[in-house]
């Protein structure tokens, strides 16, 4: 069997709030509790396990490959929440999306400053 990512820990000031933010944007079921983690099941055998963290922690980047329909719904939620979003990680053009590789992509931040991304085509696939 080839190695597969199973889960990773995401640090947050309020793990439950951060996990619920992500499940809302992605249209996923509410996060579940596993030990001291709030677990977001991504539906592909991978979970993001949110942990309460006090003090400083490193902000990370998480990219989610979604269908066109899921992008429309997630992007709509980003707009409904009046979140800032960008077409690239350099944040060069506020309130624009990208059309890389014949798909669509958008970058935005979660409540803890993690840089999240929705894409409809893997980069380099066009």
Q: What is the pLDDT of residue 81?
A: 98
**Please, which residues have CB within 8 angstroms of residue 84's CB and are 6 or more apart in sequence?**
94, 95, 108, 109
CATH value at residue 1: 3.30.720.120
Rg from Cα positions in the chain: 15
Instruction: List, for residues 51-76, the tens digit of each pLDDT value.
Output: 999 999 999 999 999 999 999 999 99
| Whether residue 126 has pLDDT greater than 90 | no
Q: What SS3 class is residue 97?
A: coil
- Residue ending a domain, among 52, 76, 94, is 52
CA distance 55 to 22: 22
Please, which pLDDT band fits residue 43 given cuts at 50, 70 and 90?
A: very high
Instruction: List, for residues 89-99, the tens digit of each pLDDT value.
Output: 999 999 999 99
44 lies in the same domain as 84:
no
Please, which pLDDT band fits residue 123 given cuts at 50, 70 and 90?
A: very high
- Residue ending a domain, among 16, 33, 52, is 52
List the domain range (segments joined by +) for residue 10: 1-52
Q: What are phi and psi of 26, to 5 degrees?
A: -85, -5
Mean pLDDT of the chain: 97
């Amino acid at each position: 069997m080839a190695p597969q990512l199973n889960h990773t820990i995401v640090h947050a000031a309020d793990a439950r709030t951060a996990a619920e933010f992500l499940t809302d944007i992605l249209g996923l079921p509410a996060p579940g509790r596993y030990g001291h983690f709030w677990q977001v099941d991504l539906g592909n055998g991978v979970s993001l396990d949110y942990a309460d963290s006090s003090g400083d922690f490193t902000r990370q980047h998480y990219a989610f490959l979604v269908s066109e329909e899921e992008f429309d719904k997630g992007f709509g939620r980003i707009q409904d929440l009046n979140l800032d979003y960008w077409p690239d990680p350099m944040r060069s053009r506020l309130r624009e999306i990208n059309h890389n590789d014949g798909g669509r992509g958008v970058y935005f931040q979660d409540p803890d400053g993690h840089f999240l991304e929705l894409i409809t085509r893997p980069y380099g696939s066009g």
